[in-house]
Amino acid sequence: MEYNEISKTLNGLNCRSNFTIHQVTEYMLPGLKEPLYLHKEGKTALLVIRPAFELFAGELAGLAGVHAKYDYHHNAQMTRFPTRLHKSLTETHYGLAFSFDDSEAVRLFIERLIAIVKG
């Protein structure tokens, strides 16, 4: 899926956008203070969540149309996420990245993530 399609779907799900810097848009889950980032990579886009959700990565990737990226995704603009050393002398923010086949996959992913956050 392309960046604009995912962005439109997130807005339709009442995820609020805080800012966009260098191809990265920060969103908050509706009614929660849980950040996620939409990162534009060429024509495609990745949705990145906190690494604390690694325990649930398999479950989230098991949803229809959802694909987990193999390694952590690093980007300095994901300021609400923890940092670690990665290919440089300074630490960089990182998280778990996912791609999607369609807007239904994004909807399923966000609904499941909200359920996980709420416990």
Record the pTM. 0.94
| pLDDT tens track for 2-45 | 999 999 999 999 999 999 998 999 999 999 999 999 999 888 89
**How many structural domains comprise the chain?**
1
Per the structure, the complete domain to which residue 69 belongs is given by: 3-118
Mean of per-residue pLDDT scores for the chain: 94
DSSP result, 14-81? TPEEEEEETTEEEEE-TTS--EEEEEEETTEEEEEE-GGGGGGHHHHHTSTTEEE-SS-EE-TT-TTS
